Structure 1
Amino acid sequence: MTSFATHIDGRPATAEELAPLAFAGFAHFTAAQVRDGRVRGLDLHLRRLRLASEELFGRALPDDRVRALLRAAIEDGPQDHSLTATVYSRAGEFTAAGTDTEPAVLVRTGPASSGPEGPLSLATVEHERDLPAVKHVGEVAKTRLLRQAVARGFDDAAFVDRRGRLSEATIWNLAFWDGSAVVWPVADVLAGTTMSIVRRQLDRLGVPQHEREVTPADLPTLSGAVVMNSWTPGIPVHRIGSTPLPEAPPFLDLLHKAYEAEPLVRP
């Protein structure tokens, strides 16, 4: 019988050690915070996985099947936790094989998180993600740029595209405040599920929202900025590049109010 070895640091790897590495490969994913066994924006997570699978694999699992897989993992863990669902090709990457088989799903849970407290400072770096509309894995540049930003004295990095527009941050969407309306930067970005939750709830609350291009030169005219992702609907940003940004507690409160208005749903 032929056997093969998988070692980490010279010893056999455990399943616990290998689980984080499941993010590597030809795959895409969604991340959510589970509270009381429920998630916000379930329809958005399902839509994200469905559209990304169609983009990468030419096919997608039925939503009911994905819901069942999410439910099984949620029921197997504590009531409050972080969840990541990764959809991948069983044939792996760097091969044309596997186009005739349906993708597989790995669901991983871990400790619940609300993200850093903030406020954060963001270095500006020129960068554009490949396939920005897909939340895909293997983006080595984001970790490299984060670490470079921290080495320069910042907390994280914000991306500026080739046209000079602010787009998103390493693992965050950006949102701005002009004093009366929420401003969403126009650029090629990943539409985060939290961002989408907040946008539809702001609509229901009657809060003005605008979409426009935002450049670093525009920052002094704005009244606040935040980053958001699956951890939180808003962490304040007090500096982007060399430009300070004012505190905007009403803006932050508004984003959290909108997020909390979204019902929690069991898969």
Structure 2
Amino acid sequence: MEIVFLRVEIDGRPPTAEALWHPALVNYGHFTALQVRNGRTRGLGLHLARLDAANRELFGAGLDGDLVRERVRHALADDTRDASVRVVAYCPEDRGAVSLLVAVLPPAPPPSGWQSLKPVPYERPVAHVKHVGGFGQLYHRKVAEREGFDDVLLTGPDGTVAEGGVTNIGFFDGSSVLWPDAPSLGGVTMALLEDRLPAAGIGSRRGPVRLADLPAYRSVFVANSRGVAPVGRIGDVTLPVDDDFARTLSEVYESVPWDPI
């Protein structure tokens, strides 16, 4: 799949070939991904908190949220109001300070229809960090796509469910959503839903989920910055899609306000 970049900046400037050597060759850094519409994004505070926490863990210092916002606004410029934006933090050894790469791409459409997932026994290293080391999940995802699936479902060797390849996954039992408590990335959209589901009369909790438990759930869905989508198949298991729940979940997500960057 061809990736079309509208603009890429490093520390607020167009990158030189020399500036790109480190992020291209050294697989150590972290990032967040935003969908921007009319210069706004959902869950901005959560994105900034994610970057700050990961930066402290990887590089031993916080990351100024105002600086991140300024870099994103600068990369969007005056001519781009809608976009997919990726903010990558890395630290060239010769500088001793964190650099911010901001990539601006065309806006990604929301997911459509139900999703099919291929379960694979793979757990991301340092799963709680949204880091740049994504070879494993990308490899398994491409294999899954060649086999007709939309994405992968990452599991432990015993079938314990963790997360999708680029999503969180939730399991609805008829009264509440169960989010897997296996090591995984705590996504921004997941956090936004967790905070708002109770007001819609739906509980939200964490706990173990196993592939063997799939028939016990009324509906399964995935969530990331592009939105939410029901899951209709995991491996060879066909899953029910609860239209009423899917409608409520979509309404909850659409109620999340857009924050100015």
TM over 0.5: yes
- 8 Å contact from structure 1 (residues 60, 103) kept in 2: no
- 1:72 corresponds in structure 2 to 74
Task: Write the mapping of 1:93-132 to structure 2, written as runs, cut at 5 A.
Answer: 101-132=96-127
Task: Give the TM-score normalised by structure 1.
Answer: 0.84
CA offset at residue 206 of structure 1? 4.3
Describe the SS at the equivalent of 2:67: helix
Change (3 A) 1:133 1:110: same
Which runs of 4 or more aligned residues in structure 1 lie more than 6 Å from their structure 2 counterparts after TM superposition?
14-19
In 2, the alpha carbon distance for the partners of 1:227 and 1:241 equals 15
- 8 Å contact from structure 1 (residues 60, 102) kept in 2: no
Q: Residue type matched to 2:39 in 1?
A: G
Of the candidates 209, 216, 220, which is equivalent to residue 214 of structure 1? 209
Change (3 A) 1:215 1:16: farther
Q: Residue type matched to 1:208 in 2?
A: G
- 1:51 corresponds in structure 2 to 53
Describe the SS at the equivalent of 1:90: coil
In 2, the alpha carbon distance for the partners of 1:256 and 1:102 equals 41
In 1, the alpha carbon distance for the partners of 2:171 and 2:210 equals 12
Q: Provide structure 2 residue ranges, at least 5 long, that are not aligned to the other structure.
A: 1-13
Describe the SS at the equivalent of 1:246: coil
CA offset at residue 255 of structure 1? 2.2
Q: Provide structure 1 residue ranges, at least 5 long, that are not aligned to the other structure.
A: 1-13, 92-96
- 1:34 corresponds in structure 2 to 36
Change (3 A) 1:16 1:138: farther
Q: Residue type matched to 2:203 in 1?
A: P
Task: Give the TM-score normalised by structure 2.
Answer: 0.86
- 1:246 corresponds in structure 2 to 240
Change (3 A) 1:207 1:230: same
Of the candidates 174, 189, 194, which is equivalent to residue 199 of structure 1? 194
For residues 116-158 of structure 1, the C-alpha deviation after alignment (integer angstroms, 9 at most, x for no partner) is: 4232211111011011010011311111101221233322210
- 1:6 corresponds in structure 2 to none
- 1:258 corresponds in structure 2 to 252
- 1:161 corresponds in structure 2 to 156
Q: Which structure has the larger Rg?
A: 1
- 2:229 corresponds in structure 1 to 235
In 2, the alpha carbon distance for the partners of 1:35 and 1:47 equals 20
